[in-house]
Amino acid sequence: MLGFDITNDIFAENAWYFRNALVRANYNDLKNGVHATTEFLELFLGNLLLDEQNELHNRSMHISGVFQGYKKPDIGMEKPDIGMEKPDIEIKFTKKTMSHIRRLFDCFGKEKIFGRSDAKNVLGLKDSTVSELLKKLLEADVIEPISGYGKGRYRFKG
């Protein structure tokens, strides 16, 4: 339609190169000085549309040279002694998570025992999301597991 005589041969012979050229045209790693470039895609299209004879080598697209100055730190073989105490870490919740916590607390308070399905019904979230929330609350020492009522039962700490 546009006057170009094109076959699929170049795609068949250089499929991997074409795929990688598309990736490089969209890949950025600004922290390491890697910027997206259409250079390799242009070489491919030059061969396809303009009958140019550019050499198409995947190795020319490698960005590994950017990381040559990087050396993995030597952490040794000895395991560090981290002790048995949990460190006192301040856990910050997002506004959305705080909203969920308040809704649960308003519903159950410090006295009522609840589980994942109870929290799911109150919040209207998926099982996996509620499980993650409960895990965060346990890690932050906001709720405590309660035994004697079945597995996965909790109460807000006083």
Q: In what order do the strands lie in the sheet with 143-145?
A: 114-115, 153-156, 143-145
Beta strands 143-145 and 153-156, pairing class: antiparallel
Name the one residue in this structure whose structure tokens are 């025992």.
Answer: 113
> What's the rounded mean pLDDT across residues 142-153?
90
The answer to whether 67 and 60 have CB atoms below 8 angstroms apart is: no
In tens, the pLDDT along 102-142 reads: 999 999 999 999 999 999 999 999 999 999 999 999 988 89
In tens, the pLDDT along 27-62 reads: 888 887 888 899 999 999 888 888 888 888 888 887
Is the predicted pLDDT of residue 63 greater than 70, yes or no?
Answer: yes
Decide: helix, strand or coil at residue 13. helix
pLDDT above 70 covers a percentage of the chain that reads 85
Closest CA to 108 of 156, 58, 39: 156
